[in-house]
Structures are given as C-alpha cells and as structure tokens.
Structure 1
Amino acid sequence: MTAVGFLYPGHSAEDDYPRIEMLLDDDDVRLSVVHTDIGEDAHRVDALLEMGSPARLAAGVEELRLSGAEAVVWACTSGSFVFGWDGAHDQVRALARAAGLPASSTSFAFAHAVRDLGATRVAVAATYPDDVAAYFSDFLKAAGIEVVSARASGIVTAAEVGTWSRDEVLALARAGDHPDAEAVLLPDTALHTAAYVADLEAALGKPVLTANQVTVWEGLRLAGRRVRGRRLGTLFARRD
C-alpha cells in the first residue's frame, strides 16, 4: 500500500481526491486529505501569502503523519506560486522539515508534469484575477516553460470556483487554449476537474493538466510510484 498525504486549503473540491483514487488502475494507493485553515477566502496576494504560511501548513502535519503518509503535497497552486520560485522552494523545504517526509506543492507539480510530458509551450486557463494569474505565468517561466497565452477569469473566492460545473470547466479550457500550446493548464485546486480530464483532452486534442490531477501525480512521484489511470488524461496514461 502506498499512502500519500495532501494538505488542502479549506473546502471546495477536495472530493476530487477520493474520485482520483477510484480512477487509478491500482487499488493499493491511499490518498489522505487534511484540511488547512485558509483564513480569508480570497485570490488576493496578501491573503494567499497568509494561506500558505509555514504555521498554517505545519498545523496539519501531525494528522498526515498519523495517516501513514509517505510523502506530502501542499495541494494549493496560488498559495505556493505567489511566493515566487525561490519562496515556493523555501515553503516546501519547511514543510518537509515539519513533516519529516518528502514534500512538494501543486505549483511544482505543474512544472514537473509539463516536463514529464516533454512539453515546452503551454497555455494557462486560470480562474484567478489577472494579477494572480500573472504570478503563475512567472512561476512557469522560472521553471523554463514558455507560456504562449494566459487567460484569467477574475474569480476571487475558492468557494465560487468550487461550484463550477463540467460545462463551465470545458468553456474555461477552450477559452484558454492556444494553437501553439502543447498542453493546457488549469491551475486551481478549488476547481472540480477529476471527472472531466478525459473530456477536456478530447475537446482540445492535446494534454490537459489540472491542479488536483497533477497534485496526486506529484505525490505518487515523491512516493516512488507511477500509476496508470485511463480516465485521468495523458499524464496518467503510461507507467514506466
């Protein structure tokens, strides 16, 4: 049994994690979610810096250790990339020290997943306001990834994002796509996407990376597992 722990901010789309667990081809994987206190629910830089502060993340670590987790991922994109490339590294190093486990975040999960696909040019379809979306583009550029287009939707709260339906997610991905992009990225763990990844890839005709999908993939990578999931898109299409 491989156990991976996720620190998830608040309550929006955490049900993606048990869904992904069910969609994995292997039944010996356990995904454990511990909720962190988000403070103010706002896609605003100051609120996001507080949401991703070391004290808020450390508060959930003991519960994850008790779950038997072999690795931990901070399941938040905006609450990691807003610290910048170097600051996001400091964040996961502090989390690893607090947990005594390999650690990462959703922002690094996107960077690693893009590289795993062999892609260099991506389009970003974000739920965030423009200024927050720009931080994500800057983070990807620091990872050596070219952002050929970035679309922001201006949504301020995770609570609102969590209500979006399949049709709204598909519309976001289509609107954010670009002919030169080798993959399309949807960077918000508050967005329900686990059930739609295959539909998104079919609609766009290219790999689609979504926040909760890449977060699980990153946790499994840290735990030394490569697990297939035929309904979870190109990223989970092979095992090597």
Structure 2
Amino acid sequence: MIGRSEEYAKMFELEGQLWWYRNLHERVVTALERQFGDRRDIQILDAGCGTGGMLDFLRRRGYTQLRGIDGSTDAVAFCNERGFSVTFLDLTTLASFEPAIQYDAIICNDVFCYFTESELPPLLLALARRLKSEGILVSNNNAFSVFEGQHDIAVGILRRFVLTDFEQLMPPTGLRIQRATYWSFVLSPMILLMRRWQRLQLRLGWQKPENAQSDVYLPSHWLNETLYRIVRTEQKFMSRTPFGSSLFMVVSSQHPSVK
C-alpha cells in the first residue's frame, strides 16, 4: 500500500473504530496472552505497522516494550502522531537491520501480500532470525483469491493466500505454524457477494481500476457494532473455521534459535 496516502489517512482515522480492525487487534492480544500470560514487558516488534493502530491498541492494553517498522513515510508520520518512534525500513532489507536484536513477539499483519514469490521466503527467514527461542510470529493475511475485488486494487495487494501456501513456505525458514484459522466465516457470504459485485462493475466498465476504493470505511454505528459482535462471537465459539477472507496464524520457531 506504499504510496497510497489517502488509504493511510483512512486507516489512521478508523483503526480504533472499524469492526474488522477491532477484532484483529483482539485476536493478536489473545495470541500474546496465550503464549506469555499476563506479562506486559515482552519485547514486541510490529513489522509493517502501518499507521500504528496495533501498537496503540497494545499500549492501551499495558504492553510497554513496543517497536515498529514500516516502508511508508506516510505510515511512519501517522505513527509519530500517535507518539510512537517507528523506523522507516523497506522490509526487503530486514535481514541487515539490527541483526543482533531479537523479540518475544513479532506482529506482521496484512503485509506478506505485498511481496513477490521471490521476496517472501527471505523476509520470512529474516523474521525467524528475529525471534527469541520461545517467541512467536503473529500474522494476519488476505485469504482466497475468490475474495479479490476493488479493495485489492485500491491498496495494491499482489496476492492472496491459503494455509497450504504457508505450510510450504515456513519449514525452510525454521518456522512452524502453531495455530491457524480463516475468519469472518459467518460474514464470508456477504463479503463474497460484495467483492463479486465489485469485480462485475470493473468487468463492465462501470468502475475504473484507477478509481477503485478500499473497504476501509465506517458504516453506521449499529451496523459496525453488529458486525463486530458477530465476528467476536465466531471467535469465541469457533476456534478454527475452514473459510474466510482472512487467514490468522500464530507461528513459532522449530528450533531453540534460528541462526
């Protein structure tokens, strides 16, 4: 999404309110608490932190050792507005960035979709080398190509994933998937219908690719709260679902340390 200033502005404005971000942030904290309990002093890196919404959520939950990196000057500027000291970094150069520093947890949400097939394995290896022996990588990803729509065009998504993609990518890097689930399962028919309508508009020329808009917008309060509660209930009673527009994973090192 680098270079799309208007999309970063929408993200900055809505991350704390929009149902989708709220659910994602809560999923991340649940994963951290499952691994580290009540500890709030763990070292956390948000790799591809965007406008800092995840970092802000973690700070409000009491986490104190927070670090962010992002390859967009717009994102870094918004993070600075939130009071975070975030480093500007092209993630393709992560291997040479502070190689001696390791983290208890690395968060990498909706980032891998911006990397080519040749760029992604080195990035995963660089992330693996930043994990402490008991550390975890928490990652959310765009899932299933059937959900492609104007949103993908608007934010520059290169690809979508299924779990088997990561099951093949992780082992050579020394990473192992602990838990994974697709989500927004209950809402997936609605999302799919919306995305198919978007694709039809593009195919018929009713909408131009250069004018494509992302799905980052705030619906009415009652609808936003209803969608939030639906997905929250899904998370509570369905720990793993077979389908959805996102794939959430908790990943750990296969070895005591990856060198």
Shorter-chain-normalised TM-score: which range? 0.3 to 0.5
TM-score (norm 2): 0.36
Structure with bigger gyration radius: 2
In the superposition, the TM-score normalised over structure 1's length comes to 0.39
